[in-house]
Structure 1
Amino acid sequence: MTTSEKPTPGTVHLVGAGPGDPGLITVRAVQCLKEADLVLYDYLANPTLVEYASPGAELVRLGRHDQGRSLTPDEISEIMVEAALEGRTVVRLKGGDASIFARGIDEAGACRAAGVAFEIVPGITSGLATAAYAEIPLTHHEDASAVALVTGHERDDKEESHLDYQALAAFPGTLVFYMGVKWAGRWSGALLEHGKPPDTPVAVVQWCSRARQQTVKCTLDTVVDVIGEKGIRPPSLFVVGRVVDHAPTLSWFQERPLFGTSVLVAGSRQTASNLRGKLSVLGAEVLTQPAIRIVEPEDWEPADAVLEKVGEYDWIVFTSGNGVDGFMNRILHSGRDARALGGARIAALGKGTAERLRNYHLFPDLAPDKVDPSALAQDLMDSARDGAFLMARAAGDRPVLAEELEELGAGVDQVPVYRTVDVDEPNQDVADALKAGEIHWITVTSSPTARSLVRLYGEALRSAKIVSISPLTTATLKELGYDPVFEARPHTVDGMVSALVEHGGQAD
């Protein structure tokens, strides 16, 4: 391309992130995130959603109410349009639905004026999610045949309100007010002034569909006092109408075993995603820190030379799921399959490693649940004292199991099938949450993850309690000066989840 040529403009995707539960994002939204070069996301969008973006995407967290100056809507539109004109694919990730009290139409207008292609991807708006997560039926066959979504804060530059409070006070159904905390006195007073009964039930739902969700019931004439007494802050919704009386004291969402618990999940992207999914289903608020990245070895030649004769070994030993993936993917890459292993027997250190082998339809001959290198080494020697051992490992690593085998007189060939690379930058959302004491537990799934976490966050980790996956990880944590509260039994992701549930979630 010559200097006079302009890049082909990219596309802007205005994406609704849903109300907060990361499981409520749409399939199309995930597709857009995976294709994005730039993701602009605000604090109402669950920060874990940006993990769907590719590793090379630029992630820009926009401001929040309590943390300094926020960019203006015009400034955000300018950044978005300029990036698209440079040929980049942009995702503007907005809490809830991009077209409901979210200025999505203004941002679409900025794209159209600049000649930039755009797409609007709908999301579940918080007002409707309240019906499910707080169990408040916005419509009811006896009490409400209609529902109205109303702003609690109109633009400051409007000369007069566009809301007809007389009509709203007489509305034959449910009113749901967005952005209404600061201006509760204004909208509730206007409804009362126009004849809405003072004892009209009101539910204040804060952080809908997040683990910190809370629902406070009151009446129209007491809502302002309740906001002050309970210290309620945004983001909060106000449901006004008789349907509030149908809501239970605790919704199904709030009765889940880890509701109200905040967990920092660290590790490789695959491990973190697996653990996050299991914890989220149980009600936990999960933040993630990809402490390490799993990548290919810099040079495959040593591994390829060994894998050419892989069928000659008596035992192939795996010490981690990443080792399994790296080993088997390289076998498959060479045009072979599991038959290349010939008559070799397979040993797996830990239940999680054994489970990863099953993904390739391989069932280990030896797989103790407990991660104990000394015991496994002795079992292997008892089974094949004169055998030839091959161990798949990380580049630059020196597995304890290999040392144990060699001390017992075994010959062990070690093949590097992956590398761990430390993540350089801490997750700012995680750093803020640790500083504020908002994280209850930290799950540590490997020794490299432990070292990376300490390097990234240091003393801030002491504001939460630590869970270790295995004795090896525990030993590393103790060497670093961070003793875990408990160790998973069995030494797997499922073991960590069970331990958290058993301890009641909250780290009091």
Structure 2
Amino acid sequence: MTESVEPTSPESPADFEPTGGSVTFVGSGPGDLGLLTLSGARALRFAELIIVDEDADLEQVGMLAPAHAEIRLAGSDDEVGEILGAVARGRRVVRLHAGDYFTDADAGGVLPRVLSQAGLRANLVPGVNRWSAALSYGGVTTATGFAALDATLQVPAVDAWPSAETLIIRSCGSSSVAVAEQAKRRFGADGTLLSLVRVGTTRQLSEIISWDEVENTDADEVYFIVGPGIEDHHRQRLDWFEGKPLFDWRVIAPRTKDDLDPLVEELAHYGASTELVATMSIEPPRTEQGMEKAVRGLVDGRYLWLVFTSPHAVAAISERLTEYGLDSRALSGIMLAAVGRGTVEALGRLGLVPDLVPVVENTTGALAREFPAYDDLIDPLSRVLVPSADVAVEPLLVGLSRLGWEVEEVTAYRTVRAAPPPAEVRDDIKTGMFDAVVFTSATAVRNMIGIAGKPHAATVVAAIGPATAAACEIHGLRVDVTADAPTFEALAEGLARFADQRRRDQLDAGLPVTKPSQRKRRKRRKATPAAD
């Protein structure tokens, strides 16, 4: 993050001298940054200052922003002055909003005030407005258009309601009954509607009810949709969101040193909400001499190849270069190899593209098989540097040595078992409040049980491969799912297939469809006094 500078606010367009700065207002979607358009993502990629909503996920924003970008929360006393001052100093500013600026009434007054002063140096990228999002996530089609009524601030009289074949009403949960009282005057007490709560999240709930059944809730916002597109039989065919096999499943994923964000994305594709629990922490090496010598060698041109086996190795080299006042340009002229998608992405955030990534299988052993042999007639140097953890990557080292390379391994970081998760997470694991646990390695199995205990017997256990499944069984866990291939995609797909079959079995048996965490819990027996 760069150092902030006190903003200066031009008073009129005449005070706004031409600079290289600009401001782009970017909309995304209701509570979901993943609904960004390509134009919105591109604006973030080139931003120098990003101002986001106060409830935004800063970590998620940081993944889309360049490493040098400054990210701030909105809500300052003079946000307009802050934006215009940064633009006047030549900075590229992005104001990110969870929705669409022109169609969301609560997007704030910053946009018109900045547009009136910044003029042609202001841009706008549309987002997904909450009204169309409610229709899409609710699986409702509109043949002749729709009308929208925002009743979050006050409930207007029924004669002020818009007329349309389909009407979407947005309300606070606490004023739902007041909305329903007005709606009865127009649609009748027994008129049907689609009620939507927590739209677009894995905890979304949609119900077709009558206005007499509407109750106040503690939800921040509720949508009521009235129209011909809400018929129950019609929605069953279009219920693409809540019909996902893992919808509303709470999944826990123990994380070791690997990046599990791709796994979280795959599980979200099937409707699950995933919580990561760190079972391993990354610490500096016990001694610094090895890394100091290695980085000096990189700068002095001692190595022809630099091989990264994890994102942590990338971070370790980058941090050491920064300490010396250098950046990724110090690696120019050095051939780079990388193992793993997370490693490639970590290099990309530094502006680096690896020269070699395994094609057939993204492992250290595969890299050794695809690595070029040393040729003393072509290659000016024979040395390869491999910064890694305190556990040797033997297949890679042996493979490169057989190819004629002089391999130097340096401990760039250490992996140690992480501290236990919070007490409430440990309790949820042991009492079966998670619907499933996904294990991506045998180490993850051992570490999680070591710091948090065994998952409850009702929790579905999924393993990424036979070795991980064997580790589960050694620790007394029943394995319900073993992925067909050792990939995150196969692991998520296997868990989704299991959930689908479980649902079919419940329906065939005439049972209500429930999640694994919704089992009947035994009541504790009250202690009876001993007989005299």
Q: Same fold (TM over 0.5)?
A: yes
Whether 1:108 aligns to 2:96 is no
- Taking a change above 3 Å as real, the CA distance of residues 110 and 277 of structure 1, as seen in their structure-2 partners, is same
Whether 1:165 aligns to 2:151 is no
Question: Could you tell me which residue of structure 1 aligns to residue 197 of structure 2?
Answer: 206
Question: Could you tell me which residue of structure 1 aligns to residue 524 of structure 2?
Answer: none
Question: Could you tell me which residue of structure 2 aligns to residue 469 of structure 1?
Answer: 440
- Contact (CA 8 Å) 2:80, 2:110: kept in 1 or not? no
- Contact (CA 8 Å) 2:313, 2:413: kept in 1 or not? no
Q: Which amino acid aligns with 2:190?
A: D
Q: Which amino acid aligns with 1:415?
A: E
Identity in percent: 18
Distance in 2 between residues matched to 1:13 and 1:267, nearest whole Å: 36
Question: Could you tell me which residue of structure 2 aligns to residue 256 of structure 1?
Answer: 244
> What is the SS of the residue equivalent to 2:267?
helix
Shift of 1:18: 0.7
What are the Cα deviations for residues 222-281 of structure 1, in whole angstroms up to 9, with x where unaligned?
Answer: 243xx34xx562332111223211322871122223221345778799934433332232
Question: Could you tell me which residue of structure 2 aligns to residue 239 of structure 1?
Answer: 225
- Taking a change above 3 Å as real, the CA distance of residues 100 and 249 of structure 1, as seen in their structure-2 partners, is same
RMSD over aligned Cα atoms = 5.6
Whether 1:24 aligns to 2:41 is no
- Taking a change above 3 Å as real, the CA distance of residues 223 and 54 of structure 1, as seen in their structure-2 partners, is farther
2:177 to 173, 185, 195: 185
Which stretch shows the higher mean deviation, 103-112 or 4-13? 4-13
Q: Which amino acid aligns with 1:132?
A: S
The two structures have a TM-score, normalised by structure 1, of 0.61
Please list, as runs of the form range in 1=range in 2, the aligned pairs for 1:435-450 lying within 5 A after superposition. Answer: none
- Taking a change above 3 Å as real, the CA distance of residues 196 and 494 of structure 1, as seen in their structure-2 partners, is closer
2:96 to 93, 96, 102: 93
Q: Which amino acid aligns with 1:237?
A: Y
Please, which runs of 5 or more residues in structure 1 have no aligned partner? Answer: 63-75, 156-160, 311-315, 374-387, 421-446
> What is the SS of the residue equivalent to 2:77?
helix
Distance in 2 between residues matched to 1:45 and 1:360, nearest whole Å: 33
Distance in 2 between residues matched to 1:235 and 1:4, nearest whole Å: 36
Please list, as runs of the form range in 1=range in 2, the aligned pairs for 1:31-430 lying within 5 A after superposition. Answer: 31-34=42-45, 35-43=47-55, 48-49=60-61, 51-57=63-69, 59=71, 76=75, 78-87=77-86, 90-104=93-107, 106-111=109-114, 118-137=122-141, 139-140=142-143, 145-154=144-153, 165-166=158-159, 168=161, 171-193=163-185, 195-220=186-211, 222-224=212-214, 227-228=215-216, 231=217, 233-245=219-231, 246-248=234-236, 251-263=239-251, 271-285=259-273, 300-302=295-297, 308=303, 320=310, 335=333, 392-394=386-388, 397-402=389-394, 413-416=407-410
What are the Cα deviations for residues 153-176 of structure 1, in whole angstroms up to 9, with x where unaligned?
Answer: 346xxxxx8x5633637x241110
Distance in 2 between residues matched to 1:331 and 1:471, nearest whole Å: 38
Which stretch shows the higher mean deviation, 3-12 or 478-487? 3-12
How many matched pairs?
A: 411
- Taking a change above 3 Å as real, the CA distance of residues 115 and 304 of structure 1, as seen in their structure-2 partners, is closer
- Contact (CA 8 Å) 1:302, 1:415: kept in 2 or not? no
Which stretch shows the higher mean deviation, 233-242 or 479-488? 479-488
Distance in 2 between residues matched to 1:269 and 1:333, nearest whole Å: 25
> What is the SS of the residue equivalent to 2:124?
strand
> What is the SS of the residue equivalent to 2:187?
coil
What are the Cα deviations for residues 119-169 of structure 1, in whole angstroms up to 9, with x where unaligned?
Answer: 4332111221233222111x23xxxx23111111346xxxxx8x5633637
Please list, as runs of the form range in 1=range in 2, the aligned pairs for 1:5-24 lying within 5 A after superposition. Answer: 11-24=22-35
The two structures have a TM-score, normalised by structure 2, of 0.58
Distance in 2 between residues matched to 1:304 and 1:498, nearest whole Å: 45
> What is the SS of the residue equivalent to 1:104?
coil
- Taking a change above 3 Å as real, the CA distance of residues 322 and 498 of structure 1, as seen in their structure-2 partners, is farther
Distance in 2 between residues matched to 1:46 and 1:200, nearest whole Å: 43
> What is the SS of the residue equivalent to 2:262?
helix
Whether 1:488 aligns to 2:464 is yes
Distance in 1 between residues matched to 2:107 and 2:37, nearest whole Å: 17
- Contact (CA 8 Å) 1:33, 1:39: kept in 2 or not? no
Question: Could you tell me which residue of structure 2 aligns to residue 426 of structure 1?
Answer: none
Question: Could you tell me which residue of structure 2 aligns to residue 381 of structure 1?
Answer: none
Distance in 2 between residues matched to 1:419 and 1:507, nearest whole Å: 39
Shift of 1:208: 2.1
> What is the SS of the residue equivalent to 2:168?
strand
Question: Could you tell me which residue of structure 1 aligns to residue 321 of structure 2?
Answer: none
Distance in 2 between residues matched to 1:361 and 1:337, nearest whole Å: 8
- Taking a change above 3 Å as real, the CA distance of residues 307 and 282 of structure 1, as seen in their structure-2 partners, is farther
- Taking a change above 3 Å as real, the CA distance of residues 281 and 247 of structure 1, as seen in their structure-2 partners, is same
Shift of 1:389: 11
Please, which runs of 5 or more residues in structure 2 have no aligned partner? Answer: 11-15, 285-290, 318-327, 347-353, 366-381, 456-460, 466-484, 501-514, 518-532
- Contact (CA 8 Å) 1:17, 1:124: kept in 2 or not? yes
Distance in 2 between residues matched to 1:5 and 1:196, nearest whole Å: 53
> What is the SS of the residue equivalent to 1:124?
coil
> What is the SS of the residue equivalent to 1:18?
coil
- Contact (CA 8 Å) 1:264, 1:289: kept in 2 or not? yes
- Taking a change above 3 Å as real, the CA distance of residues 33 and 214 of structure 1, as seen in their structure-2 partners, is same
- Contact (CA 8 Å) 1:151, 1:178: kept in 2 or not? yes
